[in-house]
Amino acid sequence: MSITTITRRTALGVSIAGAAMASTAFADGHGLDLTGQTVEWIIPFSESGGSARWANFYAPLLSEALPGNPTVVVTFMPGAGSTSGANHFQGLTYEDGTTIFGSSGSTQFPYLLNDPRVRYEYSDWNVVLASGTGGVAYLPPALAASVADGGAAAIADENLIYGSQGATRLDLVPLLAWEMLGLNVEPVFGIEGRGDGRLMFERGEATIDYQTSSSYLSGVVPLVEAGTAVPWFSFGSLDDDGNVVRDPTFPDMPSFAEVCEATEACQTSGPQWDAWVAFFTAGFPAQKMVFLPAGAPQEAIDTYTNAFAAIQQRPDFAEISAARLGLYPQMTGAAAQVALTSATDVPQEARDFVLNWLAERYGVVLQ
């Protein structure tokens, strides 16, 4: 399998073209009239995590941008790390344009790993927005002080606890990263959203955590300001050559690649690193996407594509999105299609490595 790399320059160029095409289609008079309607936006997680914050940010803006200004209601449908909600959406067919679905990396990973619980097929759905994001790992102050003095090796003997949605979800990325750093991290599986993991950290039940950028900005920055959490590193971003570099939202934080290079136990080459980069690429540069269900006509796809493009063209969008979502591509049209390919395709070698690692480390066998 090939892997498509989404970089900021690629996303921006294709997104502008996609927005122009969508605007042209709408100007020609093709589109839905949703006057008096209620649009249900299904989020397959709890209301405390990054997907909730992403959807709740966009929902009122989408209401303003869609023709007829329908009410947009975010419905939370957690279960099985998002698989339950995705399977539910797969069972729907297009009716009138009033149901959309928001996926995340935790929805994409079980699909990539052929999890037998997956009953959904991305190629049946119609993508209208793809949002990039990042992630930040953080620690309690005492552990952060040890890392500041001696690097990751200074806490290698600690028994760390992490609240996890599951090893086959987006948590695969931090779990593999922490193992690469030589840490002893014991996940507590079964939480319904990353916000629940943050709450475990706040209660002292977890001693290491990560949040996607939107959740970090809204939920963890207050902890940092209060002195109860200390950021360690961001997972990073991809440059135009596909290299992991510093996240533009957190330019003062080292990337995972930098921390790995500074840690004797960690290598930034070889099968383990290649697998981590492949799943990071699938899970973060196009982490969250909005879909219309199977059977959606082109006029519905154009209407939603145009609406999301119009939101990004608002004079205040850069300011309000940076504060809530971070500095990441928000892709529509052709760019969203490229992002969908990136998020749902990884090299077979990386998939095989991760499947073997899941079986050996966590006893998870997917068949």
**pLDDT, position 46:** 86
pLDDT reading at 97 higher than 50: yes
Q: Residue 150: which CATH number?
A: 3.40.190.10
- The model's confidence at residue 328, banded by pLDDT at 50, 70 and 90, is very high
Q: How far is it, in rounded angstroms, from Cα 360 to Cα 57?
A: 40
Same domain for 166 and 98: no
**pLDDT, position 22:** 41
pLDDT tens per residue across span 110-124? 999 999 999 999 999
The C-alpha torsion from 273 through 279 and 280 to 283, rounded to 10°, is -170
pLDDT tens per residue across span 25-44? 443 444 699 999 999 999 99
User: How many angstroms separate the Cα of 166 from the Cα of each of 27, 80, 228, 262, 304?
Assistant: 45, 9, 26, 28, 32
Closest CA to 288 of 318, 319, 323, 326: 326
pLDDT tens per residue across span 260-319? 999 999 999 999 999 999 999 999 988 899 999 999 999 999 999 999 999 999 999 999
- The model's confidence at residue 2, banded by pLDDT at 50, 70 and 90, is very low
**pLDDT, position 24:** 39
Asked if the structure places residue 354 within a domain, the reply is: no
Q: Residue 117: which CATH number?
A: 3.40.190.150
Residue with tokens 């892709």: 331
Asked if the structure places residue 356 within a domain, the reply is: no
Asked if the structure places residue 234 within a domain, the reply is: yes
Domain boundary among 263, 282, 301: 282
Average pLDDT over residues 82-96: 96
Biggest alpha carbon–alpha carbon distance for the chain: 64
Average pLDDT over residues 115-137: 96
SS3 124: helix
Asked if the structure places residue 81 within a domain, the reply is: yes
Asked if the structure places residue 158 within a domain, the reply is: yes
Q: How far is it, in rounded angstroms, from Cα 299 to Cα 46?
A: 31
Domain boundary among 254, 282, 310: 282
What type of residue sits at position 313? Q
Same domain for 272 and 159: yes
232: CB partners within 8 A, 6+ apart: 136, 137, 138, 139, 144, 147, 253, 259
pTM of the model: 0.83
Same domain for 147 and 261: yes
Residue 92 lies in domain: 8-132+284-348
Residue with tokens 């993991």: 197
What type of residue sits at position 97? G
- Computed over every residue of the chain, the mean pLDDT equals 90
Task: Please provide residue 138's backbone torsions phi and psi, each rounded to the nearest 5 degrees.
Answer: -145, 165
pLDDT tens per residue across span 187-212? 999 888 888 999 999 999 999 999 99
Q: How far is it, in rounded angstroms, from Cα 198 to Cα 186?
A: 16
**pLDDT, position 31:** 67
